[in-house]
């Protein structure tokens, strides 16, 4: 599992073997059952997760009781509730496993200790934040400019595993459409 994490880290920065070893020792393995809450609304997010197997989603519930999924992380990706994690504030979002999931988790103290100790980790963090910002901007742009069908077709093209692995309920909340609308789109 650490090899997967090391491969990902190497795509972000030019880590040497010693740095990768120090970083990987800071991550702790977690095996979590499907539908487990890793973070509940109102809690402070204490960890960043690397998904080695399975799937997690970051979502919130509107005042009307509707779920809105902001992010779905499959194997090989990193997820957390960044605002809560960085600012040490209560989270508006929740993080849940969608499948039985295996994670490598790094806690807040270790994460920021690595920033002080390893320059490449700082580079990694900056690139991670840039990717998160770009992803969210792109998602907002798509919500404003694309139809529900166009958003579905884009996910089908760019990330077909989401369509295959997550429930219609979760996928609809990710696309910001009703589940009935998603069913109609899929049946055409």
pLDDT digits (tens, 9 = 90+) for 71-82: 999 999 999 999
Residue 184 burial (CB count, 10 A): 13
The 10s digit of each residue's pLDDT in 106-158 is 999 999 999 999 999 999 999 999 999 999 999 999 999 999 999 999 999 99
φ/ψ (deg, to 5) at 11: -75, -15
Instruction: Report yes or no: 96 and 41 within 8 Å, Cβ to Cβ.
Output: no
Distance CA 75, CA 156 (A): 17
- Give whole-number Cα distances, 138 to 70, 92, 172, in Å: 12, 21, 18
pTM: 0.92
Q: How confident is the model at residue 19 (pLDDT cuts 50, 70, 90)?
A: very high
- Using CA atoms of 7, 13, 16, 22 in order, give the dihedral in degrees to the nearest 10: -80
CA–CA distance, 1 with 118 (Å, rounded to integer) = 21
Contacts of 150 by beta carbon, 8 Å cutoff, 6+ apart: 142
Task: Using a pLDDT cut of 70, give the percent of the chain over it.
Answer: 99
Strand order in the sheet with 56-61: 37-39, 94-97, 56-61, 67-73
The answer to whether 34 and 99 are in contact (CB under 8 A) is yes
As a whole number of angstroms, the distance between CA 56 and CA 34 comes to 9
Task: Specify the pLDDT at position 1.
Answer: 61
Residue 73 DSSP SS3: strand
Query: Is pLDDT at 187 greater than 90 in this prediction?
Result: no
For the ranges 3-12, 50-59, 144-153, which has the lowest average pLDDT? 3-12
What is the pLDDT at residue 188?
Answer: 80
Asked if 62 contacts 92 with a C-beta cutoff of 8 angstroms, the reply is no
Percent of the chain with pLDDT over 90: 96
- Which pLDDT does position 22 carry in this prediction? 95
Which residue spans within 89-143 are E strands per DSSP? Answer: 94-97, 101-107
């Amino acid at each position: 599992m650490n090899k997967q994490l090391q491969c990902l880290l190497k795509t972000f920065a030019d880590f040497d073997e010693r740095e990768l070893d120090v970083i990987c020792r800071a991550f702790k393995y977690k095996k979590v059952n499907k539908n487990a809450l890793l973070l509940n609304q109102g809690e402070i997010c204490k960890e960043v997760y690397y998904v080695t197997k399975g799937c997690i989603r970051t979502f919130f519930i509107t005042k009307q009781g509707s779920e809105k999924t902001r992010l779905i992380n499959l194997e090989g990706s990193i997820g957390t509730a960044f605002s809560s994690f960085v600012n040490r504030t209560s989270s508006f979002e929740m993080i849940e496993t969608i499948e039985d999931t295996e994670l490598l988790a790094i806690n807040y103290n270790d994460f920021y200790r690595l920033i002080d100790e390893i320059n490449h980790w700082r580079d990694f963090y900056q690139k991670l934040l840039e990717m998160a910002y770009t992803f969210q901007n792109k998602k907002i742009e798509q919500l404003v400019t694309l139809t529900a069908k166009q958003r579905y077709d884009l996910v089908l093209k760019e990330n077909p595993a989401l369509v295959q692995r997550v429930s219609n309920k979760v996928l609809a909340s990710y696309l910001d459409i009703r589940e009935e609308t998603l069913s109609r789109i899929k049946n055409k």
